[in-house]
Amino acid sequence: MKKEQIIKLCVTGMFTALICLATMVIQIPAPLVGVLNLGDCFILVAAWILGPWYGFAAGGIGSALADLFTSYAQYIPATLIIKGLMAVAAALLVRAFIKKSDKTELVAVRPKVQQDVAQQRRTGDKTELVAVRPKAQQDVAQQRQTGGKSRLPGFVVSGLAAEMIMVSGYYFFEAAFLQYGWIPTLVNIPSNCVQGAFGLVLGVALIQIIVKTGVLKKFHVYAD
């Protein structure tokens, strides 16, 4: 097993435990909902860091364990799938946004690189031409790595899609499988929306802080 895979497994286990504890223990009183938990926040962060499949494991298993330990056993199968799919959606969508934005930024930087090379060719100075090429390559590589301003919109849109899966998934499960009824179950949608918005805002803020600290450079981050 490669070193990076071992690290990802360890980080996945860490996020699984963190999501479980954040759902069970870290609860903030709020109107309408009663309490807000930090579970969704860490599911999004895990998805953006680990990718869809490791993220599915951390989000699904961690949240399902929280249901088990808090006597909501009837929700375990739904939670495993819904929270896991949240991570899959968040990871795949943020990756798609970043790739699209990287291409746009890369196209923007290339004309300047081409101008520099063309100018050196016109001067006929081969030494300067050789010198400018590494700089041009560095500019393109840096643009690919940073992605310009692409990260924040990708985090927001992918997180929003993930939270929509959470709200609609629990509505369908409670109405159809727990047989609470399609109309009565509508009463739970506002509270789930508040929980989703809370997790989205904190998740986006947290991933921005984590990325800026550089603590994730030891292995490939999915949203990079």
Residue 158's pLDDT is what? 96
| φ, ψ at 124 (rounded to 5°) | 75, 10
pTM: 0.79
DSSP 8-class letter at 36:
E
**Containing H/E element for 34?**
strand 34-37
Write down the pLDDT at residue 145: 47
- Look over the chain and give the mean of its residue pLDDT values, rounded to a whole number: 81
The pLDDT, as a whole number, for residue 99 is: 81
CB of 105 closer than 8 Å to CB of 90: no
Structure tokens at 137: 């390559």
| pLDDT tens-digit readout, 99-157 | 877 655 445 445 555 555 555 555 655 555 444 445 545 554 454 444 445 588 999 99
From CA 32, how far away is CA 192, in angstroms rounded? 10
| pLDDT tens-digit map of 45-97 | 999 999 999 999 999 999 999 999 998 999 999 999 999 999 999 999 998 98
Specify the pLDDT at position 213.
Answer: 81
CATH 1.10.1760.20 assigned to 3-92+151-213: yes
Q: What's the rounded mean pLDDT across residues 166-187?
A: 94
Considering only CA atoms, which of 221, 95, 215, 88 is closest in space to residue 150? 95
Query: How is the chain split among helix, strand and coil, in percent rounded to 5?
Result: 80, 5, 15
Residue 147: the pLDDT is 41
